[in-house]
Chain A
């Protein structure tokens, strides 16, 4: 899973919070042949709206077309393209790793290096929770796989633009 890199577009789409809006967005991507790498939907602080964060394939269509076609959906309010270099991205991963008591220590150590937590412990399995930029989750996934990954889920990324620090005291 390669979810980072320049061949992707990161779109933050503000939509009306109504039945069927996600289906409209998804079917637009399908119908126009745009590939989606990940998609996350969540309510916003204003209950009338939701935010969809989409990571789209830059090879399948020019970003400009994707944005313009999305804008034609009546329920789409605003689209921001987030430059990966200029935004804060996060993704959440839950992962159940095989680790008998002799291996537990190693796994816990690894996970803590990534700032993650152990959220469930079984006989010979651990479930870990980590949130980070997607590429770091890729790394952790690689490092955990020799132990044996029993189950894993990732949410797809969400993102916000970096804040402007150049703002003007005394300017």
Chain B
């Protein structure tokens, strides 16, 4: 069958390639160098969402990827637009979020001349991308796009950037006309000879892991964000239920295991609950699945889980032994490895399992003695943030996706939300990027329009990216935003209170400058201010009922409230500070 060669411009080829990769939405903002690509966008079925700042485009692409599992796509121009998207690239890199970013670049001939809006995008983004590539010929575009999507979404996922010089997409440039072709999978893999992720776990190692599991009396499954990336939540649950081993879910893994499951211990780490933190600390076997022994989880490393053997499963070989040397390292896709491990264990447990009832009793004893707790607010006083979160949680429609910024409000959300299904949590974990929540929530909602999407934000974070609510209103993406307005950069205030003798330095923001209600209304949102506990529920109900535009609910919360438990930085997890406990709790 001989097909007529189809000729087109580099710009048309780029847009067509994105269409063929199944892209349904691009978050972006045009400018000089990327202009030629914006012309064929007009004729494409791909939805383009015009952001107000390129950082917003990047976080939206991340939010989209978190919620849908498909790579998010952002497109921006050269120079300042490229630098504006560096933060989201780094955020996606640290949290292994699949994302493809397309940046405009000055014409090939002008590269290196300090041309207008030229910057060394490839150099600047090299260390915050899984891979990046300067494309220099129109005919290379389809392969470059295919490579970018393959790299972003396979192996350990991550952001990939394509830098596209203006001349190679210029429809008026005769040299940038190309004969359309679409590389096959084989051609794409052949073009990446150095990229061969290992997905199948080594059978002998899997057997060894099974042996350790069968011998362990105090095991804990330490589930990380990799579980979600590998779509392994179902098999994780099978493993836990088959063996009766309890599960902690890290900040990036919230939702990977249902919080209402009897084996769920919740979040470990610096602000993890006592039982999750201490279970890891006292365990004799840590089964680390797609987790990376981040310092926010381990606390002071030499004192972390001193008696635990470690099984570590990760698709990235470099994670095995990077921080803690595993007794059984397994390189592979955690879903495939767990499926195999469960098969092996099914045969083994038929002959009975070790008696772990003492361990389970210890754990439930801790859960009873050290629950999450806060003192309710006095009448007339400011709201307790934890109370607001309980109300948001209890009134959230089924399947609600929640995104957060970074700070106290983020930790409270992770602690107080009850996650029952995967892909309902959108959060900046490894980089801790303030301003993440609003654009990320918009991206999540763009990808999952049927879901209710709440952004729980801090007043500090809100001021960093609030302008994207204009995008949300314009594009009719009706997210809901809860601002926990404590008038402070609260998390920093907490550290200053606890570790700097209450010397508050540059953390006060003011409760009413800006006026969040006026600001939100100016951006086309419905805005509600809530000051007393009895208004909380009705305001949330009202917000949940609005679906034709974004809603912003400003909750005036108590700045004195601190996030507990807390493992102070640099200390051992055994030095966990529990914070207030319910009256009558026996220590």
Bits for B187-203, please: 1 = Cβ < 8 Å to A, else 0: 00000111100000000
The verdict on A73 contacting chain B, using a C-beta distance below 8 Å, is: yes
Does A52 sit at the interface, judged by CB under 8 A?
no
Contacts A20-B122, A27-B126 given: A72-B316 contact, CB under 8 Å? Answer: yes
Verify A77–B194 contact, CB threshold 8 A: yes
Contact at B122–A71, with CB atoms within 8 Å?
A: no
Bound-state CA distance A24–B194 (Å) is 14
Q: Which of A31, A65, A68 has most B Cβ within 10 Å? A: A68
B321 within 8 A of A: yes
Indicate if the CB atoms of B194 and A65 lie closer than 8 Å: no
- The complex places the Cα of A27 from the Cα of B126 at a distance, in Å, of 8
Q: Are B126 and A74 in contact, with the CB atoms below 8 A?
A: no
A74 near B151 with CB under 8 A, answer yes
Which A-chain residue is minimally distant from B126 (CB atoms)?
A27
Whether B127 contacts A27 by the Cβ 8 Å rule is: yes
- Is there a chain A Cβ closer than 8 Å to B322's Cβ? yes
Q: How many chain A residues touch B (Cβ–Cβ < 8 Å)?
A: 20
Q: B318 at interface (Cβ–Cβ under 8 A)?
A: yes
Bound state CA distance, A68 and B318, in angstroms? 5
Asked whether, in the complex, the Cβ of A76 is within 8 Å of the Cβ of B126, the reply is: no
A residues 24-38 touching B (CB-CB < 8 Å) = 24, 27-28, 31
CA–CA, A127 to B546, complex, Å?
83
Number of A-B contacts (CB under 8 A): 36
Closest chain B residue, CB of each to CB of A62:
B321
Q: How far is B447's CA from A86's CA once the two chains are assembled, in angstroms?
A: 56
**A31 with B127, Cβ < 8 A, contacts A64-B321, A65-B318, A74-B151 known:** yes
Closest residue of chain B to A19 (Cβ to Cβ) is: B134
Given A15-B194, A16-B194, A64-B321: A74 and B131 interface contact (C-beta under 8 Å): yes
A69 to B320, CA, bound (A): 11
B318 and A23 contacting across the interface, CB-CB below 8 Å: no
With a cutoff of 8 Å between Cβ atoms, the chain B residues found around residue A16 in the complex are 193-194
Instruction: Give Cα A19 to B137, complex, Å.
Output: 14
**Least CB distance, A44 to chain B, in whole angstroms:** 13
Contacts of B127 in A (CB 8 A): 27-28, 31
Structural contact, A72 and B318, CB atoms closer than 8 A: yes
In the complex the two chains form, is B131's CB within 8 Å of A71's CB? no
Q: Which residue of B lies closest to A48 (CB)?
A: B193
Judge whether B123 is part of the interface by a CB distance below 8 angstroms.
Answer: yes
Q: Does A4 contact B (CB under 8 A)?
A: no
Q: How far is the CA of A64 from the CA of B326 in the complex (A)?
A: 14
Asked if A76 and B321 sit within 8 Å, CB to CB, the answer is: no
Q: Which residues from chain B contact A23 at a C-beta distance below 8 Å?
A: 123, 126
What residues of A have a CB within 8 angstroms of the CB of B317 in the complex? Answer: 68, 71
| Nearest 4 interchain pairs by C-beta | A68-B318, A77-B194, A74-B131, A31-B127
Excluding A68-B317, A74-B130, A74-B194, 17 further A-B contacts by CB distance (< 8 Å) are A15-B194, A16-B193, A19-B134, A20-B134, A23-B123, A23-B126, A24-B126, A27-B126, A28-B127, A65-B318, A65-B321, A65-B322, A71-B317, A72-B316, A72-B318, A74-B151, A74-B192
User: A residues engaging B (CB < 8 A)?
Assistant: 15-16, 19-20, 23-24, 27-28, 31, 64-65, 68-69, 71-77
